């Protein structure tokens, strides 16, 4: 019961902050709401026994990506204080699309409800040994370096980060003096 209340509070917080992100006129406030929404998602990870991912969420999304977004807003500042509508010419169509996508996903969930690996009980979270949950981080580390699992994606991720950094510096760095 108490878990359900915590879940509902966290998810409502996440979704409300997400709504502020997409609807707020002030882009800076939207970025702050984005950070709050990321925090709510980290709370959901905690409820799913994924403490490591919650930590990674804090570190990467809240600590790094949000800062990146806020710096980008500062750099393109003149658009921030606009009095115009934050939406383009098709907010109605976009709303219809988003609502229908949600309806389709919910419908698929309803159709698939008997095929999911729901485990014991009436759809409750299947109990797992504490050693499994606590050992999942070390297991994850083994996966990253094991040739049978994810070593190739792991190395490709580093190459992708290298390419992203070089590409971003190449694109964002002013080519001439007067551009800076």
Partner 1 sequence: MISDWRFIAFFVVLAPLFPALPIGINLLLGPRKPNYIKQQIYECGVETVGDTWVQFKVQYYIYALIFVIFDIEAVFLFPIAAAYGQVGLFAVIEIALFIIILTAALAYAWGRGVLEWV
Partner 2 sequence: MIPLSWYLLVAAALFSIGLYGVLARRNAVAILMGVELMLNAVNINLVAFWRYGRFPEQPVGLAWAVFVLTVAAAEAAVGLALIISIYRHRDSVVAEEMDTLKN
List residues near partner 1 by CB under 8 A.
3, 46-47, 49, 51-52, 55-56, 59-60, 63-65, 67-68, 71-72, 74-75, 77, 80-81, 130, 133, 137-142, 144-147, 151, 154-155, 157-159, 161-162, 164-166, 168-169, 172-174, 180
87 binds, among partner 2, partner 1, none (CB under 5 to 8 A by kind): partner 2
Rounded CA-CA distance 37/21 in Å is 9
Decide whether 6 or 98 has the Cβ nearer to partner 1.
Answer: 6
Distance from C-alpha of 106 to C-alpha of 124, rounded to nearest angstrom = 19
130 binds, among partner 1, partner 2, none (CB under 5 to 8 A by kind): partner 1
Residue 126 contact, options partner 1, partner 2, none, Cβ 5-8 Å cut-off depending on partner type: partner 2
What is the number of other CB atoms lying within 10 angstroms of the CB of residue 2? 6
CB 73 within 8 A of CB 28: yes
- In 3-state terms, what secondary structure has residue 62? helix
Task: Give the nearer residue to partner 1 in terms of CB position, either 2 or 112.
Answer: 2
Nearest to 54 by CA among 123, 136, 125: 136
DSSP string, 135-169: HHHHHHHHHHH-TTTTHHHHHHHHHHHHHHHHHHH
121 binds, among partner 2, partner 1, none (CB under 5 to 8 A by kind): partner 2
Tell the smallest beta-carbon distance from residue 124 to partner 2 (Å): 3
């Amino acid at each position: 019961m108490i878990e359900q209340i915590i879940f509902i509070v966290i998810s409502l917080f996440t979704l409300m902050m997400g709504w502020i992100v997409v609807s707020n006129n002030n882009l800076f406030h939207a970025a702050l709401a984005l950070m709050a929404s990321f925090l709510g998602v980290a709370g959901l990870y905690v409820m799913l026994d994924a403490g490591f991912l919650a930590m990674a969420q804090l570190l990467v999304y809240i600590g790094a990506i949000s800062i990146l977004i806020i710096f980008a807003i500062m750099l393109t500042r003149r658009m921030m204080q606009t009095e115009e509508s934050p939406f383009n010419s098709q907010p109605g169509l976009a709303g219809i699309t988003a609502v229908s996508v949600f309806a389709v996903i919910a419908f698929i969930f309803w159709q698939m409800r008997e095929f999911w690996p729901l485990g014991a009980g009436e759809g409750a979270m299947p109990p797992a040994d504490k050693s499994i949950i606590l050992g999942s981080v070390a297991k994850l580390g083994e996966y990253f370096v094991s040739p049978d699992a994810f070593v190739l994606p792991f190395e490709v991720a580093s190459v992708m980060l290298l390419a992203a950094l070089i590409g971003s510096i190449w694109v964002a760095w002013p080519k001439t003096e007067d551009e800076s």
